[in-house]
A and B are shown apart, each in its own frame.
Chain A
Amino acid sequence: MQELLAQLAIFVIAAFLGYELISRVPNLLHTPLMSATNAIHGVILVGGMITLATDGGAVIKAVGFVAVFFGALNVVGGFWVTNRMLGMFGPPVKRVKKRREG
Chain B
Amino acid sequence: MQAATFLAYLAAAALFVLGIRRLRRPETARSGNTLAAFGMVIAFLATLFVIQFQGLLLIGAATLLGAVVGAVSAQRVQMTAMPQMVAAYNGVGGGAAALIALSEFYHLQIQGDESIVAAITVPLTVLIGSVSFAGSVVAFLKLQEIAFTGSVVFPLQQVVNVILFVGILVLGANAALDAAILPFLPPVASVTAVLVASLVLGVLLVIPIGGADMPIVISLLNAFTGLAAAASGFVLENYILIIGGTIVGASGTILTRLMSSALGRPLRKIIFAGIAASGGGKGEDQEERPVNDASAETVGEYLKDEAEKIVIVPGYGLAVAQAQTAMRDLVDALEAEGKEVLFGIHPVAGRMPGHMNVLLTEAGVPYEKLYDLEDINPEFDDTDAAIIVGANDVVNPAADDPEQDTPISGMPILEVEKAERIIFIKRSLSPGFAGVDNPLFYDTDKTMMLFSDAKQGLQEVVEAVKNG
Contacts and interface: CB of A to CB of B under 8 A. Distances in A.
Given A50-B236, A70-B66, A74-B70, A38 B96 contact: no
Interface in B1-35: 12, 16-17, 19-21, 23-27, 29-30, 32-34
Interface string B65-92: 1110111011101010011011011101
Given A34-B218, A38-B222, A67-B100, A73 B89 contact: yes
Contacts of B354: 27-32
Nearest to B231: A11
Given A80-B74, A82-B33, A91-B367, A40 B40 contact: yes
Nearest to B117: A4
B258 A22 contact: yes
Nearest to B234: A7
B88 to A, nearest CB: 8
Given A11-B242, A29-B354, A83 B103 contact: no
Q: Which of B99, B262, B355, B362 has the most A CB atoms < 10 Å from its CB?
A: B99
Q: Which of A44, A65, A71, A77 has the most B CB atoms < 10 Å from its CB?
A: A44
Nearest to A82: B33
B73 A11 contact: no
B226 A32 contact: no
Interface stretch (B45-53, B160-168, B199-207, B419-427): B45-53
A82 B61 CA distance: 25
Given A38-B93, A64-B103, A69-B66, A3 B26 contact: no
Closest 6 CB pairs of A and B: A72-B66, A18-B250, A77-B70, A76-B70, A27-B347, A80-B74
Interface in B127-162: none
B246 A18 contact: yes
Given A46-B238, A89-B367, 8 more contacts: A11-B234, A14-B230, A22-B258, A45-B40, A45-B43, A67-B100, A77-B88, A89-B30
B410 to A, nearest CB: 16
Contacts of B372: 27-28, 95
Contacts of A54: 103-104, 107
Interface residues of B, number: 116
Nearest to B116: A4
A17 B62 contact: no
Chain A interface mostly helix, strand, loop or mixed?
helix
A49 B367 CA distance: 42
9 contacts: A11-B234, A18-B249, A19-B254, A22-B258, A29-B25, A37-B247, A77-B71, A90-B361, A92-B27
A98 B82 CA distance: 33
Interface string A45-82: 11111111110100111011111111111111111111
Contacts of B267: none
Nearest to B244: A43
Contact of A21 (B27, B55, B243, B251): B251
Contacts of A75: 37, 40, 66-67, 70
B85 A40 contact: no
Nearest to A10: B242
Given A39-B36, A50-B51, A74 B353 contact: no
Given A40-B247, A44-B232, A76 B74 contact: yes
B51 A53 contact: yes
A6 to B, nearest CB: 9
Contact of A22 (B85, B86, B230, B251): B251
Given A10-B242, A33-B20, A76 B66 contact: yes
A32 B222 contact: no
B237 A3 contact: yes
A27 to B, nearest CB: 4
B97 interface: yes
Contacts of A29: 23-26, 29, 354
Contacts of B234: 7, 11
B106 A60 contact: yes
A99 B376 CA distance: 11
A33 B86 contact: no
Contacts of A42: 40, 89, 93
B20 A34 contact: no
A63 B70 contact: no
A38 B90 contact: yes
Contacts of A38: 86, 89-90, 93, 222, 225, 248
A28 B234 CA distance: 35
B219 interface: yes
A30 to B, nearest CB: 4
Nearest to A72: B66
